[in-house]
Structures are given as structure tokens and as C-alpha cells.
């Protein structure tokens, strides 16, 4: 399996314990890493022995390249030590390769999930980890309520009209900054319905030929961006004025300023520039 997918998700360790096992540990929401000469290294089991941290909420998340991976929290006795540093998630997105960054996000989400579900939402009793080798869940021993880690899906869509792309300026963006349309999926809605609804609500136009583009976990704080392309069908641009304050069609030579990051939103704009 590790030759097919570098990361293998698992609730229990898949390989025998190694000095090289990876530990994604957090302190006040920041990842604790070894940093040396501008290079960041995820902590290994051998580092833990060296620093003797006081750990809480530790859980196995799977294995990367054949080494077990764990997440957890370093309790309050933590202090910055020689070669040890802390980074927030946003900066790590630019500093780590994609595979490693997704594990950083996953491990933080699992830690937060467990910390936010200490009590049963039905009866208020203490929740416990479900004792299962293949299922990650917390359950209430009193009433049986069970909860699993969740994500909030959102759509993001590049809408084209001939050789033009629809871009919008959100009132929360810096001046002159534009992006494609995005929004959260509502309960009971399909992705395609969400694309139609969000686009209509935000810019007042109808779209057709909605096609899947790709997806990206977006852990700020806990979403899954599902990207689409779509074509203009009907209507005049009419911004909602609440979130979107300006929107327009742009050909590839007129694309305004947009956030060049590893986000799927930037990828959709790059896709348009390549193909139109």
C-alpha cells in the first residue's frame, strides 16, 4: 500500500515502532517542529525522547512512507528550546510540501475534534474513544451517542463566457484583489445545486455544464473545497452587495490581482489562463 499511496490512514499503528515515527504535536494551536538553518522538520520519536515533553490527546493518524504518524498536544510545561520552534497552519502551507502539509492539517483537526467533543451533546456525560481498530469515533458510555470527525464542504467555481472568466471582489478582500466564486454547501444540497445557488445569489447569473475540477482540504478552520468549472448560461451580473461588491468578466490578459497561493482558487485561475 505504501508504494501506492504515501500516506495510509489508520487508527492504530501499521508498522512496528521506529525512532523515525512522525509526531505532529501542537502547543496553543501551533505545530512544534525542529528547525535548523531555515529547514523545518516534523518531530520524530527520537526527538521526543530527547526533549521529554508532557503530552496529551495523543492518537495514531496512520503512516507516511512506512513510518507511523501520531498527533497530540504538548501541555503547558512547553518552552522554546534550542532547535525547537512553533509555526501556525497558514505559514506552514507555504513551507511544507503538499503531502506533509495535509498531514499537519489532519493532525490538528483530529486534535481539535477530540478536544471539542469531551462531553456528550445529548446527555452531557464524558465521551470516550471507541475501542476499534478501524473506526475513529467518540462515544457516550451512558446514552450511546457516537460522533465521527467531520468536515464542512464548500464549492469553488470558475465560470467562463467564451474567452472571459468571471471574477469577483469580496468586501473582505484587500483593495483590487479578485477571486472566483465560492461558498458553503447547505444541508441536503448537491454540489451542483450549491454551484447554481451560490453563483445566482452572489452575482445573479445562471450557469451550465458544471464539471468537477479537483478538491482541496482547507483547514481554516475545517472545510473541504470542491472545485468546478462552469459555463455562462443566462443573466446580467448583479452583485449581492453584501459579500460581493464588484464582479466582471475578464479575458486572460486583463486578469486583475489575485492571491497566488497553493489554493484551488488560484489553480482555477491558472487553468483558465492556460486554456483560453
* Piece of the chain touching Zn ion by CB under 5 A; list 107-115, 145-153, 155-163, 211-219: 145-153
Interacting residue with Zn ion among 42, 120, 194, 207 (CB under 5 A): 120
Q: How far is the CB of 65 from Zn ion (least distance, A)?
A: 39
119 binds Zn ion (CB under 5 A): no
127 binds Zn ion (CB under 5 A): no
Interacting residue with Zn ion among 87, 145, 173, 213 (CB under 5 A): 145
All three cell numbers of 44, joined, read 520524530
Cβ-based nearer residue to Zn ion, 142 or 259: 142
C-alpha span between 7 and 69 (Å, rounded): 9
Q: Are 204 and 224 in contact (CB under 8 A)?
A: no
122 binds Zn ion (CB under 5 A): yes
What DSSP line would sit under 45-77, residue for residue? HHHHHHH---EEEEEEEEEETTEEEEEEEE-TT
Interacting residue with Zn ion among 143, 163, 214, 215 (CB under 5 A): 143
Q: How far is the CB of 116 from Zn ion (least distance, A)?
A: 15
Cβ-based nearer residue to Zn ion, 5 or 143: 143
C-alpha span between 136 and 131 (Å, rounded): 9
| 3-class secondary-structure state, position 110 | helix
C-alpha span between 210 and 207 (Å, rounded): 7
Cell 520552534, residue?
85
Q: How far is the CB of 150 from Zn ion (least distance, A)?
A: 18
Binding region for Zn ion (CB under 5 A): 120, 122-123, 125, 140, 142-143, 145
Amino acid at each position: 500500500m505504501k508504494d501506492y499511496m504515501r500516506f495510509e490512514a489508520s487508527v492504530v499503528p501499521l508498522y512496528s515502532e521506529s525512532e523515525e515515527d512522525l509526531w505532529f504535536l501542537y502547543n496553543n494551536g501551533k505545530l512544534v517542529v525542529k528547525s535548523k538553518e531555515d529547514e523545518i522538520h516534523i518531530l520524530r520519536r527520537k526527538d521526543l525522547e530527547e526533549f521529554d515533553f508532557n503530552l496529551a490527546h495523543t492518537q495514531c493518524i496512520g503512516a507516511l512512507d512506512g513510518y507511523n504518524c501520531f498527533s497530540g498536544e504538548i501541555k503547558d510545561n512547553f518552552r522554546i528550546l534550542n532547535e525547537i520552534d512553533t509555526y501556525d497552519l497558514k505559514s506552514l502551507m507555504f513551507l511544507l510540501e503538499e503531502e506533509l502539509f495535509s498531514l499537519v492539517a489532519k493532525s490538528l483537526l483530529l486534535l481539535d475534534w477530540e478536544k471539542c467533543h469531551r462531553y456528550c451533546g445529548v446527555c452531557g456525560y464524558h465521551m470516550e474513544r471507541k475501542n476499534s481498530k478501524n473506526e475513529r469515533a467518540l462515544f457516550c458510555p451512558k446514552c450511546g451517542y457516537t460522533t465521527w470527525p467531520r468536515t464542512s464542504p464548500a464549492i469553488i467555481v470558475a465560470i467562463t463566457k467564451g474567452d472571459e472568466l468571471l471574477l469577483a471582489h469580496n468586501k473582505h478582500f484587500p483593495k483590487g484583489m479578485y477571486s472566483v466564486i465560492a461558498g458553503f454547501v447547505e444541508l441536503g444540497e448537491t454540489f451542483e445545486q450549491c454551484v447554481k445557488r451560490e453563483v445566482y445569489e452572489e452575482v445573479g447569473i445562471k450557469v451550465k455544464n458544471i464539471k468537477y475540477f479537483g478538491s482541496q482540504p482547507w483547514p481554516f478552520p475545517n472545510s473541504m473545497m470542491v472545485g468546478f468549472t462552469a459555463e455562462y448560461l443566462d443573466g446580467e451580473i448583479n452583485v449581492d452587495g453584501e459579500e460581493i461588491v464588484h464582479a466582471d468578466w475578464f479575458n486572460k490578459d486583463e486578469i486583475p490581482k489575485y492571491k497566488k497561493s497553493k489554493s484551488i482558487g488560484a489553480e482555477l485561475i491558472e487553468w483558465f489562463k492556460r486554456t483560453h
